A and B are shown apart, each in its own frame.
Chain A
Amino acid sequence: GEDVEQSLFLSVREGDSSVINCTYTDSSSTYLYWYKQEPGAGLQLLTYIFSNMDMKQDQRLTVLLNKKDKHLSLRIADTQTGDSAIYFCAENNQAGTALIFGKGTTLSVSS
């Protein structure tokens, strides 16, 4: 069935780069998404990538997509304490009716 997998935790030092990885199963997904959830808040769309792209850059964020391996990653350059949050990877389901979310990666940034 459809599934999205992420590692649960990542800990980095302020100023380092963070890389959050995700694997997905549905090769027909048109778009893949990264959402951020700060403590006590809802999910906020960070960025998304169209499936025919292999990279997208947006300021400190770089998304890499490897369609062959069904692997998606989010790189945050110069990680700040304000980046501490849960990051969710998501893909469209096969019917195209909803998103399937991973369980989320908790990023902890220490100063």
Chain B
Amino acid sequence: DVKVTQSSRYLVKRTGEKVFLECVQDMDHENMFWYRQDPGLGLRLIYFSYDVKMKEKGDIPEGYSVSREKKERFSLILESASTNQTSMYLCASSHRQRGTDTQYFGPGTRLTVL
């Protein structure tokens, strides 16, 4: 059974703080993704990674950075949190099979920035 875990379910931070969101998968997946989910906007891709130390910008990378030092771990970093980054953050991973990109999701981290 694929398992994707995220370090916190709920997080409250103050404006200007540096925030780390951690994601770990146990299925040796090559690909990992960070999304944010907001009411009425659905899921929006922030960053993704196809391999260790590799990263690609998604649709809304501004204000975020990522780190992938090990294959199983993908971190999302908010360098200086702002109130408009209050959201649900979802991590996903996938194994790059031929022609498919089935993604498996973690439970999400609900971040509130005050």
Contacts and interface: CB of A to CB of B under 8 A. Distances in A.
Do A and B make up one complex?
yes
A45 B103 contact: yes
Size category of the binding interface on chain B: 20 to 34
Contacts, number: 51
11 contacts: A30-B99, A40-B108, A42-B108, A43-B105, A45-B104, A48-B100, A96-B101, A102-B42, A103-B41, A103-B42, A104-B42
Interface of B: 4, 33, 40-43, 45, 48, 50, 56, 58, 90, 92, 99-108
B101 to A, nearest CB: 6
B101 A92 contact: yes
Nearest to A30: B99
Interface of A: 8, 30-31, 33, 35, 40-45, 48, 88, 92, 96-99, 101-104
Give the residue among A31, A41, A97, A98 with the most B Cβ atoms within 10 A: A98
A31 B100 contact: yes
B48 A97 contact: yes
Give the residue among B58, B103, B104 with the most A Cβ atoms within 10 A: B103
B105 A44 contact: yes
A41 to B, nearest CB: 6
* 10 A-B pairs with the lowest CB-CB distances in the bound complex, closest first: A103-B42, A42-B105, A43-B105, A30-B99, A101-B43, A42-B107, A31-B100, A42-B108, A42-B106, A101-B42
